[in-house]
Chain A
Amino acid sequence: AQSVAQPEDQVNVAEGNPLTVKCTYSVSGNPYLFWYVQYPNRGLQFLLKYITGDNLVKGSYGFEAEFNKSQTSFHLKKPSALVSDSALYFCAVRVSGNTGGFKTIFGAGTRLFVKA
């Protein structure tokens, strides 16, 4: 079955430290992978995506993610965390739909807490 998994419900890091939010996927064919962020009391926002090309993709707010085909992973990273990065992060993958097209499914989300 096509799926996306975020194994950590919550990640805690200290401000200034590097952060990683994990994501693994299972799809048929070449994956289209995405990260979205939901700040408190705000809507979901696109962060970055991998479609093809360089395995390391850079996105908004200093975030980046590395596509690893052999490990079927797409972990989100940032070299130095900020308190303002505290939010709910969603990994997503484009999968085959039931009507011949494609749809996007989301992981369960990982809550990131950055402590000052």
Chain B
Amino acid sequence: GAGVSQSPSNKVTEKGKDVELRCDPISGHTALYWYRQSLGQGLEFLIYFQGNSAPDKSGLPSDRFSAERTGGSVSTLTIQRTQQEDSAVYLCASSPQSGVGAYEQYFGPGTRLTVT
């Protein structure tokens, strides 16, 4: 595909349920980021993958949050036992680390998560 894709676009879940959010980055981009944005506010860094290096998980708000990136491509963000404060738009971005566009992040459309 031409850009970063995320699925689902919207997710409504009940408090206490687990959810999985998916991100398909741009092919060839070695860096992948997850952010959270609440109500049109700022971006909260969650986790960062770069190539085969250990991910930087310093932004994950609790141990209910985890993420994987398989084969250096697709990433899944999992939230266990969702809480109402987890409601937000979850954004994924990918970035090349060299060449044209180096370090520029290309964002997906986001997944809007609502926990009821």
Interface residues of A in 28-70 (CB under 8 A from B): 32, 34, 36, 43-46, 49, 51
Q: How large is the interface on A (under 10, 10 to 19, 20 to 34, 35 or more residues)?
A: 20 to 34
How many angstroms from the CA of A45 to the CA of B110 in the assembled complex? Answer: 13
Contacts of A49 in B (CB 8 A): 103-104
Are B104 and A97 in contact, CB atoms less than 8 angstroms apart?
no
User: Which of A46, A100, A102, A106 is the one whose CB lies under 8 Å from B104?
Assistant: A46
**B50-90 vs A, Cβ < 8 Å mask (1 yes, 0 no):** 10011111100000000000000000000000000000000
How many angstroms from the CA of A108 to the CA of B107 in the assembled complex? Answer: 17
How many angstroms from the CA of A90 to the CA of B44 in the assembled complex? Answer: 12
Interface of chain A, helix or strand or loop or mixed? Answer: strand
Residues on B facing A (Cβ under 8 Å): 33, 35, 40-43, 45, 48, 50, 53-58, 91, 93, 95, 102-110
Q: Which chain A residue lies CB-closest to B59?
A: A103
Interface of chain B, helix or strand or loop or mixed? Answer: loop
Number of A-B contacts (CB under 8 A): 66
Interface residues of A in 57-88 (CB under 8 A from B): 88
**A87-103 vs B, Cβ < 8 Å mask (1 yes, 0 no):** 01010101001111111
Extra contacts, 14 of them, besides A44-B91, A45-B107 (Cβ < 8 A), are: A43-B107, A43-B110, A44-B93, A46-B105, A92-B105, A98-B58, A99-B53, A99-B54, A99-B55, A100-B53, A101-B48, A101-B53, A104-B95, A109-B41
Contacts of A100 in B (CB 8 A): 53
If A43-B107, A109-B42 touch, whether A99 touches B56 (CB-CB below 8 Å) is: yes
How many angstroms from the CA of A45 to the CA of B91 in the assembled complex? Answer: 12
Contacts of B41 in A (CB 8 A): 108-109
Contacts of A51 in B (CB 8 A): 102-103
Smallest beta-carbon distance B89→chain A, Å: 10
